[in-house]
């Protein structure tokens, strides 16, 4: 499992394969009546969009820190494991990465209530639309999944902010 996590952390290709397979499975579940080629087409489109977004985000972060994608993955691993680098150049790179990620998370945090509100409206709308048509199982599962997703996002955000703040504090000059 550790090698799979490391592979997904470092390889955009591995991430693309995972996104493609997940998209294919979801498309097969949702669009059962359509031809499998449509599933593959939709999955490939969503994978392309996700990989393009990921590549731009990773390139921007690597440029801000002054390293490549592999170095960025290693710096993120050190932040996750609370490893303070001893090398002054690496400390400066981690400091820049922490500042970049904290700034990004704080800017995104302003929009979080609106995103949760929109997700709540989508869940309620789906519940009403499908409940009117007959079945209650799918809308209930969808609403529960949406609530679980929101709680997971809040938990991951809090955990990431704690790690980044800890690293910023650890890297402060004494």
27-36 residue pLDDT tens: 888 888 889 9
* Domain total of the chain: 2
Same domain, 123 and 50: no
Q: Pick from 65, 83, 118: which residue ends a domain? A: 65
How confident is the model at residue 44, as a pLDDT?
94
DSSP state of 82: T
Alpha helices in the chain (DSSP H): 2-10, 12-30, 36-65, 69-80, 88-109, 112-133, 137-170
Q: Which domain holds residue 80?
A: 68-174
Residues in the chain, pLDDT under 70: 1-2, 174
Same domain, 18 and 84: no
Same domain, 40 and 76: no
Structure tokens at 13: 């290709």
CB 72 within 8 A of CB 97: yes
């Amino acid at each position: 499992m550790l090698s799979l996590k490391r592979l997904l952390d470092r390889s955009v290709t591995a991430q693309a394969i995972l996104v493609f397979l997940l998209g294919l499975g979801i498309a097969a579940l949702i669009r059962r009546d359509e031809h499998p080629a449509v599933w593959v087409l939709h999955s490939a489109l969503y994978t392309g969009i996700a990989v393009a977004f990921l590549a731009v985000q990773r390139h921007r972060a690597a440029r801000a820190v002054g390293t490549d994608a592999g170095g960025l993955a290693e710096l993120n691993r050190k932040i996750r494991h609370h490893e303070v680098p001893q090398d002054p150049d690496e400390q400066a790179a981690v400091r820049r990465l922490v500042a970049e990620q904290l700034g990004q998370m704080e800017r995104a945090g302003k929009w979080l209530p609106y995103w949760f509100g929109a997700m709540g409206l989508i869940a309620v709308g789906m519940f009403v639309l499908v409940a009117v048509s007959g079945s209650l199982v799918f809308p209930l599962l969808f609403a529960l999944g949406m609530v679980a997703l929101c709680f997971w996002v809040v938990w991951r955000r809090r955990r990431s902010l704690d790690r980044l703040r800890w690293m910023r504090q650890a890297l402060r000059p004494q």
